[in-house]
Amino acid sequence: MRFALVICLKDLRQRVRDRTAILVAVVVPMLLAGLVGLSLGSNRAGVSLRLALVDLDGGPDVVRLREHLARPWLEDVVTIEEVGSLEIATERLADDDADAALVLRKDFAQTPVSAMAGTAPPVEVLASGNNPFATRMTVALAERFLSENATGGTESEASPVPLPSLLAVSPTGRLRPVDFYAFSMTVLFLTFTVLSGVRSLQEEVEAGTLARLIASPASARSVMAGKLLGLLILGCLQMAVMIAATSLVFGTEWGHPLTVTCLVLSSVWMAIGMTSFFMAIAANAEQGQMLASISIFLLAIVGGQFMPAQGLPDVFDTLQRLTPNGQASRGFMDAAALARDGGLSALLEPLAVTLGVGTAGILFAGRRAGWTLERAMQ
Ligand X SMILES: Nc1ncnc2c1ncn2[C@@H]1O[C@H](COP(=O)(O)OP(=O)(O)O)[C@@H](O)[C@H]1O
Which one of the spans 36-44, 209-217, 315-323, 324-332 is the region binding another protein (CB under 8 A)?
209-217
Strands ordered across the beta sheet of 100-104: 78-83, 49-55, 100-104, 123-127
Which one of the spans 182-190, 191-199, 211-219, 259-267 is the region binding another protein (CB under 8 A)?
211-219
8 A C-beta contact, residue 74 and residue 205: no
Q: How far apart are CA 197 and CA 288, in angstroms?
A: 12
Burial class (CB within 10 angstroms; exposed 0-12, middle 13-18, buried 19+) of 76: middle
Query: Is residue 206 at the binding interface for ligand X, with CB under 6 A as the rule?
Result: no
Q: Site residues for ligand X, window 72-111 (CB under 6 A)?
A: none
8 A C-beta contact, residue 16 and residue 67: no
Q: Name the nearest CA neighbour of 218 among 7, 51, 66.
A: 7
Query: Is residue 24 at the binding interface for another protein, with CB under 8 A as the rule?
Result: no
The full DSSP string for 278-327 is HHHHSSSHHHHHHHHHHHHHHHHHHTT-SS-STTS-HHHHHHHHHSHHHH
**What is the widest separation between alpha-carbon atoms in the chain?**
79
Burial class (CB within 10 angstroms; exposed 0-12, middle 13-18, buried 19+) of 274: buried
Query: Is residue 84 at the binding interface for another protein, with CB under 8 A as the rule?
Result: no
Interface pattern 318-357 for ligand X (x via CB under 6 A): ----------------------------------------
Query: Is residue 377 at the binding interface for ligand X, with CB under 6 A as the rule?
Result: yes
Measured from the CB atom, the residue of 214 and 377 that comes closer to ligand X is 377
Q: Identity (one letter) of the amino acid at 246?
A: T
Shortest Å, Cβ 34 to ligand X: 49
Which one of the spans 242-250, 295-303, 347-355, 369-377 is the region binding ligand X (CB under 6 A)?
369-377
Q: Name the nearest CA neighbour of 186 among 247, 136, 232.
A: 247
Query: Is residue 216 at the binding interface for another protein, with CB under 8 A as the rule?
Result: yes
8 A C-beta contact, residue 187 and residue 168: no
Shortest Å, Cβ 17 to another protein: 5
Among 119, 209, 261, 318, the residue binding another protein under the rule CB under 8 A is 209
Measured from the CB atom, the residue of 129 and 370 that comes closer to another protein is 370
Which one of the spans 10-18, 61-69, 133-141, 370-378 is the region binding ligand X (CB under 6 A)?
370-378
Query: Is residue 283 at the binding interface for ligand X, with CB under 6 A as the rule?
Result: no
Judged by beta carbon distances under 5 to 8 A according to partner kind, the member of ligand X, another protein, none in contact with residue 18 is another protein
Query: Is residue 14 at the binding interface for another protein, with CB under 8 A as the rule?
Result: yes
Please, what's the b/e burial string for 97-135 (b: 16 or more CB within 10 A of its CB; e: otherwise)? Answer: ebbbbbbbbeebeeeebeebeeeeebbebbbbeebbbbb
Residue nearest to ligand X (CB): 378
Which one of the spans 5-13, 43-51, 252-260, 321-329 is the region binding another protein (CB under 8 A)?
5-13
Alpha carbon dihedral 84, 86, 88, 90, in 10-degree steps, equals: 150
Measured from the CB atom, the residue of 7 and 134 that comes closer to another protein is 7
Measured from the CB atom, the residue of 157 and 374 that comes closer to another protein is 374
Site residue total, ligand X (CB under 6 A): 4
Query: Phi and psi at residue 139, in whole multiples of 5°?
Result: -55, -45
> In angstroms, what CA-CA distances link 21 with 137, 182, 188, 189?
38, 19, 15, 11
Measured from the CB atom, the residue of 221 and 375 that comes closer to ligand X is 375
Measured from the CB atom, the residue of 13 and 66 that comes closer to another protein is 13
Measured from the CB atom, the residue of 252 and 372 that comes closer to ligand X is 372
Q: Identity (one letter) of the amino acid at 78?
A: V
Site residue total, another protein (CB under 8 A): 23
Query: Is residue 12 at the binding interface for another protein, with CB under 8 A as the rule?
Result: no
Q: Which residues bind another protein (CB under 8 A)?
A: 3, 6-7, 10, 13-14, 17-18, 207-209, 211-219, 374, 377-378
Q: Which residues bind ligand X (CB under 6 A)?
A: 374-375, 377-378
